[in-house]
Structure 1
């Protein structure tokens, strides 16, 4: 019983830390601390943090890095809404507004 309770506690703790991390990163972004946002992102990490890191790369004028970071999101499974969000970001950075709009619409359609 102790193992089960401990496992549940760890799961809730990890979920809370995950949510706090995305929230904290968003606050850093809003405060203009783009480099700190970029440093917070980890490949395979929270997709919301990766998205904010991609936006931060853009703010820092690091467009190639932004495209790479959006690409990390786009490489997710097509059943994951973040795939289309990342794809849309990449397409927009590559001046493909029509493709970006189509990908964004697919992402929105997944949440209906």
Structure 2
């Protein structure tokens, strides 16, 4: 995490979901993201082989899907509770930074 002296620039945590098919986990994840009003990008690896190869190069094979890319860190099918915790922490930081610094938080690198 960067210290408070750094410039505060990020509005929302960057979230990309890499998956190959719709599943119960993904439905629960999307419901959580919608409830938190969190924007995200969905990439279906069945149709984006370039991204699939890049992920395999980064994480190894086999991939445990879905993979979440949240603020610079990959998470292979993290528990929904962990995703909620990460988003809650970001929201808390956003509120603190807004209150004390009058600006938005910097990108959080776990």
With structure 1 as the length reference, what TM-score do the two structures score?
0.23
Name the larger-Rg structure: 1
With structure 2 as the length reference, what TM-score do the two structures score?
0.23
Larger fraction in helix: 1
Larger fraction in strand: 2
Question: Relative contact order (C-alpha < 8 Å, sep 6+): which is higher?
Answer: 2
